[in-house]
A and B are shown apart, each in its own frame.
Chain A
Amino acid sequence: AQSVAQPEDQVNVAEGNPLTVKCTYSVSGNPYLFWYVQYPNRGLQFLLKYITGDNLVKGSYGFEAEFNKSQTSFHLKKPSALVSDSALYFCAVRDPSRSYQLTFGKGTKLSVIP
């Protein structure tokens, strides 16, 4: 069965510093990987995805993620954090053999401190 782990419930970073939100996954085949962001009482917004190709994926709002097959990781990164980046971040994986389903991590709360 596919699974996603976000090992940190909360990440605190100072404004202007680089940020990393960690994600590891487990699937039986080649993974499709996604990052979403959720602001309070709002739906999830799509940030970026990895299907195949370049291991460094660029997405919305200056975010990027690095796919590492050997470490089964897909960490979300941003070179310089903004206070407005404070939100809940979800990593998700889709097993190609179960095409209609995404499995989500439990989420990581990012707080950017002014």
Chain B
Amino acid sequence: SQTIHQWPATLVQPVGSPLSLECTVEGTSNPNLYWYRQAAGRGLQLLFYSVGIGQISSEVPQNLSASRPQDRQFILSSKKLLLSDSGFYLCAWAVSTDTQYFGPGTRLTVL
């Protein structure tokens, strides 16, 4: 069966510091991968998606970037965090364009 991991689970970072969040998927090959951010007001915002190694599409221009160095690894990064980057970050995977399955999430607080 497929599983998706995210780490860390919780992160507190100062403004201006770098960020690296990691997502890995097991039990499937060549998945589509997604990064979402969920603000305190509940809504989910798609940040990036990837259909293959090195292929990244950005949905919203902002202070973040994504990379996919391996087939089942998706990384969300920032060089300098802003207060507005605080939120709950969710990674998801899908086979082709079917149902998306979500990881447990990372709670990021920028102080």
A→B interface (CB under 8 Å): 34, 36, 41-46, 49, 88, 90, 94, 99-102, 104-107
Identify the interface centre among A43, A101, A107: most chain B CB within 10 Å of its CB: A43
Q: Are B102 and A100 in contact (CB under 8 A)?
A: no
Contacts of B87 in A (CB 8 A): none
Partner of B104, one of A42, A46, A49: A42
Decide if A106 touches B42 in the complex (CB within 8 Å). Answer: yes
Do B100 and A107 touch across chains, with their CB atoms under 8 A apart? no
Contact A101 B59, beta carbon cutoff 8 Å: yes
Say yes or no: A107-B42 contact (C-beta < 8 A), given A43-B90, A43-B105: yes
Separation of A41 and B42 alpha carbons in the complex (Å) = 11
| CB <8 Å contact, A42 and B105 | yes
B102 pairs with A45, CB closer than 8 A: yes
Check if A104 sits within 8 Å of B44, measured CB to CB: yes
Asked if B102 and A43 make an inter-chain contact with CB atoms under 8 angstroms apart, the answer reads yes
Q: Which secondary structure dominates chain B's binding surface?
A: strand
Asked if B44 and A100 sit within 8 Å, CB to CB, the answer is no
Within 8 A of A (CB), among B10-59: 32, 41-44, 46, 49, 51, 57, 59
Question: What residues of chain A lie closer than 8 Å to B105, measured between beta carbons?
Answer: 41-43
Known: A100-B49, A101-B49. A41 touches B99 (CB 8 A): no
Note all chain B residues with C-beta closer than 8 A to A46. 99-102
Q: Which residues of A contact B59 (CB under 8 A)?
A: 101
Q: Is B41 in contact with A102, judged by CB distance below 8 angstroms?
A: no
Instruction: Let me know if A88 and B97 touch, CB within 8 A.
Output: no
Q: How many angstroms from the CA of A43 to the CA of B42 in the assembled complex? A: 12
Asked whether B42 lies within 8 Å of A99 as measured between CB atoms, the reply is no
B101 pairs with A88, CB closer than 8 A: no
Chain A residues lying within 8 Å of B100, measured Cβ to Cβ, are 34, 46, 102
Distance A42 CA – B100 CA, assembled complex (angstroms): 15
Beta-carbon nearest neighbor of B50 in chain A: A100
Most buried by A among B44, B59, B88, B102: B44
